[in-house]
Each structure stands twice: as C-alpha cells, then as structure tokens.
Structure 1
C-alpha cells in the first residue's frame, strides 16, 4: 500500500512538472506557430494529430474501444478544453503577447473553485487564501507590464479560462474512457471541432511555413498535447481540482522566463516581485493536498 502511494506521489509530481513547465512554454510556442499558421488551423492540427496518435497507441496497447456514452463525455470535455479553451487562446494571441495570455488564464483557479462548489466541493480557507495571493501577484504583473489587447481580447481570455475550468470539473462527473484513451478522445474531438471552425472562418494552409513555426507545431503536438495534456487529465482524476489547475499560477512565471530566454523580453522589478507572490499562492494551494486528496 505504501509502495503504491509512493509511486502515485512520484507520478503526481511528474504530472505537475509537465503542466507547470511544458504548458508554461506553450504560450510562446503558440506565438511562434501563428507567425505562419492561422490560429484555428494550427490548434486543429495540433490536437487532431495528437489525438489520432494517442488513440491508435492506446488501441495497440489493448485499450477497449470507447462506448457511445464515453465518446459523448470525452466530446464535451474536448469542446470545452482544447476547442473553446485553447482555441480561443490561439486566436487572441494574434493581438496580445504570450505572457499576457498566460496571466489572464491564471484566473482559472477562481472559476475552478466556483464550478467545484456546484458539485458540492468545499474550498478550504487556505485554498481561498492561496487563490487570493496568487491573484495579487497577477495584478502586480499586469501593473508592471503592458496589455496591448482590447476589451474583447481580455473578455475572450477570461472566457477561455472559464471554459477550461468548467470542462475540467464537469469531466470528473461524466462517463469517460479509461486512462489515456480519455485524453486521446478529448483531443480528437476538440481538434476536429477547431478544424471545422477554421474551415468556416476561411482559413487556409499557409504557402510558406517558417522553420520556427514548424518547430513550434511539433513542440505543441508532442510535448504540449501528447505529454502535458495527458498529464493534466491524470491530475484531474487523481488530485483536487485546484491542485490540478495550480499550473495556471506557475505558467506566467515560465512564460516570462521563456520569453526572456528565447524572445529577448525584459522583466521589470515589479514583475519579479509578482512572480514571488504567485509562488506563495501556489504553495498554499498545494499544501492543502494530503493522502485523502490523492
């Protein structure tokens, strides 16, 4: 029993690492990707390819074909997370920077708490404190930086965070394929939905694709989707919703770090202070986790 708990704890730490650091880098990867690809087309290709690959790998490994009810549940989550959530972020990143997008998505734990309460989950005082401190950090980051988007862009990013959070919580109460087959079906449905939106919007495959955009797309498919998205789905099944979504506090930190490293962005003293404040919020949210939670 103790061995199983230790193994599960290691898997949880690895999954959190993936959602913290890989997903924190995907905002810059999206920015690089949409330099050549239209946003919905890029998102559609990303999730469809990842979903198809994971689906056939799981079938090869012996996973059963999902039932109609499981396809329905996975489809709902696929629309709310990859399509509405990530697809909206891709669209808005045409007008806002990668770090601003990551900061706005950091409102997800607030939505997660609200939606979890609908299903009877009690948010502890320490979790609320962690959320509040994390949001103070987000405010500081916005004060120290510049928001280039308009009101509609800000609204769409909040919508993306709410959609992602609602799907994350609702998915725990829906029939879902077992294991990674669930992530495969979600990405497949979400990817196809984005391809349909792309076709409706009149997007077309670019005549010229830069090496940087190709690299970003491959990164998003393999690391951002096959690995990190699957890790996130594991967390949703294993830990409390707020712990699973705590990546939204760390992602802005990673987004800024990657931006400095690869895109020559600069971070002010106020923004550095804000990063520390956000880390305190993450610690408080994570410190609530105990063996009962996992």
Structure 2
C-alpha cells in the first residue's frame, strides 16, 4: 500500500502524540522532584517558543500580525499554561499513570466544547469516548493509581482548559504554520512564569543532571515536536481524533512508570489498556466511501 505525503505526515503526527507525549508524564514526574511545577512548565514552554520563533525567523517566516498574536496568545494561556501547567502541578501529588489517566477526559470535553462551535460528533466518536472513559474508570481501580482530591481537581481543570482551546483553535485567527506554535508557547510560558512568581515558587537547590535532562526532553520532544504535531492534527482531523492521544498516553505512562518508577501494573491496568486501545480505533474509524 502506497501512502501519500499527507498520510505519512498524519502517521508521524499521531506517533508523536501517542508515544512521545505519553513519555512526557514520566519526564514531568522526574522533573517536579527538583523543579517547582509552574516554574518548570514556564521555562519549558518559554525556551521552546524562543527556539522555534528564532528558527522560523531565520528561515524567513514573517512576523505575525497583532490579530494573529492575540488569537495564538489566548490559546497559549488555555493550552500550555492551564492545560499543561496544572498537569505539572498535579504530578507533585499523583503518579504519571494517574495523570495520563485523568487527562483521558480531554476527548469528552473537546467534543462537548466543539458542539458550541457547530461540530456534531459521529456515532463512532461518541462510542469511542464512552469506551475510553470506561477504560479510565477501570484503570483508576488499580490500587496504586488513585489521585488525591486536589490532584484530581488540577487534572480536570487542565483537561477542560486544553479541550476548550483545542475546540476554539479552528475559529481563532492565528499565525500561519509553525509560527502559531511558537507564539502559543511564548505566551503560555510567560503566563506560567507569572503564575510561578505570584504563588511564590523558589528553587530550593540547583537541579541535578536528571532534572536538567527531564527539562531538555520536555523542551525538545514534548513541546517543539509533539506540540507542533498536535496543532497539525487539529487542522486536519476531527477534535475527537486529535485528542485520542489521551487514551494511549496512559498506556505509555503506566508502562514507563512500572519499568522505571516501580509502579505496580496489575489486572486492572492491563484490562484498561485493552479498552483504551479499542476506544482509539473507534474514534478514528471512518467508513470507506462506496465506489
């Protein structure tokens, strides 16, 4: 089977979201052991935004207009700042698997918010979302994957902010191409560092090598690569399909947690993985056109 260039880009983007973003929960868990959460998330996105903006300008990309900056900045606050910032805060209290689990509510929120903008979800999308939530519940039954009340609240807030930004992104004026990612990360990183200052975060000590490596991985792969892939998918697939990564990320996060953080993987975790993967298939399922 010969794949077109567009299909290859879609496959690469889904790989980045499913695998790379799934591993960022593990990196965040390592990072927050040495960095204050909002500070780490702010440095992550601000640095990624500066690098991407500089690279784009060096390659000849024009500066965005004020209207484009305004639209991308709104999304930057909703998605990198609220969406990722509160996930990072929550991971000071909950495991990487639990964080990825609760973020699995993003497709549900995204579908609900998309209705505000006229998108009517297909039956398969609704079935996949329902099944994915079922998988989330099963995973939450595992003994070692229970979030604290405050951690659960932070994760639900993050999921709602990210999903609303995802649904709104198709209707806001933004810079063209990757410049949109750069502006969103710049604005989101700035908002997070302001939040860090307001909440009085301070570095207790200079981070060790593992803390710096975690931050570097989040900047390069978690932000510059995977975040750009997500924005690409938002423009070319349905909101439910673009946010279907939330059903696969728990699988990656739980596996990494089990191997490197000694998190227990039992019957509930294994069963939930099967349910989650099935949910992803349903969300992306489309009938072939009749010839």
Q: Taking structure 1 as the reference length, what is the TM-score of the superposition?
A: 0.95
Q: Deviations over 1:120-154 (max 9, x none)?
A: 11111111111111111111101123455432321
What are the residue-to-residue correspondences of 1:1-294 with 2, within 5 Å? 6-288=4-286
Equivalents in 1 of 2:100, 2:288: separation in Å? Answer: 28
Deviation above 4 Å: which 4+ runs of structure 1? none
Q: Distance in 2 between the 1:278 and 1:168 partners?
A: 21
Question: Which digits, 9 at most, give the CA deviation of each residue in 1:48-94, with x for residues without a partner?
Answer: 00000000111111111000000000000000000011001111111
Number of corresponding residues: 288
Does the residue aligned with 1:173 lie in a helix, a strand or coil? coil
The question of whether the paired residues in 2 share the 8 Å contact of 1:176 and 1:182 is answered with yes
The answer to whether the 8 A contact 2:98-2:147 is kept is: no
8 Å CA contact retained: 2:139, 2:145? no
**What is the TM-score normalised by the length of structure 2?**
0.95
Change (3 A) 1:289 1:99: farther
* Unaligned runs of at least 5 residues, structure 2: none
Alpha-carbon distance between aligned partners in 1 of 2:146 and 2:120, rounded to the nearest angstrom: 37
Q: 1:290 to 1:61 in 2, by over 3 A?
A: farther
| Structure 1 residue 211, shift from structure 2 partner | 1.5
User: What is the CA–CA distance in structure 2 between the aligned matches of 1:137 and 1:289, rounded to whole Å?
Assistant: 24
Judge which range, 200-209 or 175-184, deviates more: 200-209
